Structure 1
Amino acid sequence: MADQKHFISCKDYLVSGEEFDLFWHPEFEILETKPVPPALDFYYSSDQYISHTDSKETITEKIYQKVKEYMLGKKISWIRHYKTSGKLLDVGAGTGDFLNCARKNHFEIHGVEPSDSARGMAMRKNISLAKKYEELNIKKFDVICLWHVLEHVKDPKAELDKLAGLLEKDGLLVVAVPNFKSFDAEHYKEHWAAYDVPRHLFHFSQNGIQSLFSKQGFKLITKKPLVFDSFYVSLLSEKNSTGSSNYFKAIINGLKSNLKAKSSTEYSSITYFFQKR
């Protein structure tokens, strides 16, 4: 711990109310959450953990599901610019909506999802998900996607080694993560919802993620901003900081984040497209 500089302390607003510290990674421009709880599953045990539900009961959930539906098409169109078909693996597939969209666009779909409840919801959409990599019956994939997954992984380097082994020689690796150098991150500071401790174990900047992937043998092809994320993250951050959802402030700060990012490129979340070197 001596070689790591403290960056910020954040609270778990979703489950435990506990506080965690973020430290600079000694090698990359990346932040690490400390300590890592031994029983992480407990921290996902909330019906408010929205990526593991299809609920449309609250206003926030309705907005989230509508935006998600729109963005599914955008994500597939980005991928189809490089790959129009083939074997596609979604890591952290949630309830299977992205895979369902990929299937409709002529991809052979496969997915990994550790959550039992999320896999059950995917099964009702006729999408069978593996619980872990070892259960996959395909050894090589043309496209591998991690939509807001890498930040949850205990060892990103080991994960990238595993993904490199699963990816075809000319395959496409698509990774979306929050960006702690965005305007909304700097504005909300310890209340920024995308820190989401301790579920998010690592926190990435653009330089950090590109350095990490480069050292693990991947070449960056392009980047795409996830412009809706600034609004959703700002909405959750407002609740973290004030105790109530302030839609007006969230919209203003989400808009500010995107406008500032037009020149700085520091969007709230960014999708990176990589190929093996």
Structure 2
Amino acid sequence: MSKEQTQLHIKDHSVSGEIFQLKENKNYGFLETFPQPKANQLSEYYKTEDYISHTDAKRNWFEKAYHLVRRFSLQQKLKLINGFKTDSKTLLDVGCGTGDFLKTAKENNWIVSGIEPNFDARKIANQKTDQSVFDIDQLENYEANSFDVITLWHVLEHLSDLDHQISIFKKLLKPNGRLVVAVPNYKSFDASYYKQFWAAYDVPRHLWHFNQTSISNLFGTFNLKLDGIKPMLFDSFYVSLLSEQYKSGSKNLIKAFYIGLRSNFKAIRTKEYSSLIYVLKKV
């Protein structure tokens, strides 16, 4: 990690316009957003119509493109979890948004449950999943060894008490169950290119900022074995579009596509894609 990254001052471009700093966590090696909002203040930073994972809106070309890519991504996620050997195909999706991944899994014979803190998103998700989605305060009510697979698609970076939450996930997993965690990677080329304008910092909603070493350190503490790493190829383009807007005031489609493509090509050698999926196994 460079000294330059730990000294970055990042603006909240989505809601408040406030400035936050990144600081290194000495125990695990990830970056922390500082100062962090108190738990009872965090919801205020999600109050924007542009928070796309909490809505099914298709108001413009950007949102339409997002949903088009999401349909492809859903099939890739389904392919991933279908590749696991499971006893009963039980799935918990934490931070499930409007429930499209749960709906896709349910249609493919998974027994699904979801956790979603946002009331509006949860209401939409329940319409798609026959009332299978609950608020986050219900997470600890599930019995131990309940799930073959637990997924967090760009959720871990939002959770305020990492150690406590990971211990719950481990308890809820069956023996040999998988925890699937997708997070942005601040070691990617697009992150180094856009620096403080990199949209995936998304402070203060993203409380933590991970690289591969910090993920290994963090989950190794809980004896969750890293069982594989996969790229999320579309994220570099999506993040670059937003980053261009933050940097120049315009999404600048051609420039963003070029940076996203360049990031993916560089990652063929470095393996440092814009976002990475980590598969962790309970042993």
In structure 2, runs of 5+ residues without a counterpart are none
Residues 1:166 and 2:151 are matched in the alignment: no
Q: How does 1:85-104 map to 2 (within 5 A)?
A: 86-104=89-107
Distance verdict in 2 for CA 1:142–1:183, change over 3 Å? same
8 A contact 2:94–2:151 mirrored in 1:
yes
Distance verdict in 2 for CA 1:135–1:174, change over 3 Å? closer
SS at match of 1:93: coil
Residues 1:199 and 2:205 are matched in the alignment: yes
Distance verdict in 2 for CA 1:183–1:269, change over 3 Å? same
Residues 1:241 and 2:244 are matched in the alignment: no
Residues 1:12 and 2:16 are matched in the alignment: no
8 A contact 1:141–1:167 mirrored in 2:
yes
Separation in 2 of the partners of 1:176 and 1:168?
20
Separation in 2 of the partners of 1:215 and 1:208?
11
SS at match of 2:134: coil
Give the aligned partner of residue 71 of structure 1.
Answer: 73
Letter in 2 for 1:75: K
Separation in 1 of the partners of 2:33 and 2:54?
22
For each residue in 1:55-81, what CA deviation from the matched residue of structure 2 results, as whole angstroms up to 9, or x when unmatched? 111111011100001100001101111
SS at match of 2:205: coil
Separation in 2 of the partners of 1:172 and 1:53?
28
Distance verdict in 2 for CA 1:29–1:73, change over 3 Å? same
Give the aligned partner of residue 110 of structure 1.
Answer: 113
Q: 1:264 aligns with which of 256, 270, 278?
A: 270
Separation in 1 of the partners of 2:81 and 2:47?
32
Give the aligned partner of residue 157 of structure 1.
Answer: 163
Query: How many residues are aligned here?
Result: 273
Residues 1:220 and 2:226 are matched in the alignment: yes
Deviation, 1:124, is: 2.5
8 A contact 1:183–1:268 mirrored in 2:
yes
8 A contact 2:102–2:129 mirrored in 1:
no
Deviation, 1:123, is: 2.3
Letter in 1 for 2:10: C
Letter in 2 for 1:257: S
Deviation, 1:95, is: 0.2
Deviation, 1:217, is: 1.2
Give the aligned partner of residue 138 of structure 2.
Answer: 134
Separation in 1 of the partners of 2:155 and 2:208?
10
Distance verdict in 2 for CA 1:249–1:126, change over 3 Å? same
Distance verdict in 2 for CA 1:41–1:245, change over 3 Å? same
Residues 1:42 and 2:39 are matched in the alignment: no
Distance verdict in 2 for CA 1:236–1:127, change over 3 Å? farther
Letter in 2 for 1:270: L
Give the aligned partner of residue 30 of structure 1.
Answer: 30
Give the aligned partner of residue 60 of structure 2.
Answer: 58
8 A contact 1:113–1:119 mirrored in 2:
yes
What TM-score do you get using the length of structure 2 for normalisation? Answer: 0.93
Deviation, 1:138, is: 4.3
Deviation, 1:6, is: 3.8
8 A contact 2:140–2:168 mirrored in 1:
no
8 A contact 1:94–1:119 mirrored in 2:
yes
In structure 1, runs of 5+ residues without a counterpart are none
Deviation, 1:135, is: 5.9
Separation in 2 of the partners of 1:43 and 1:69?
27
Letter in 2 for 1:32: E
For each residue in 1:136-187, what CA deviation from the matched residue of structure 2 results, as whole angstroms up to 9, or x when unmatched? 7642111100000000011212111110111101111100000000000000
8 A contact 1:143–1:174 mirrored in 2:
yes
8 A contact 1:223–1:272 mirrored in 2:
yes
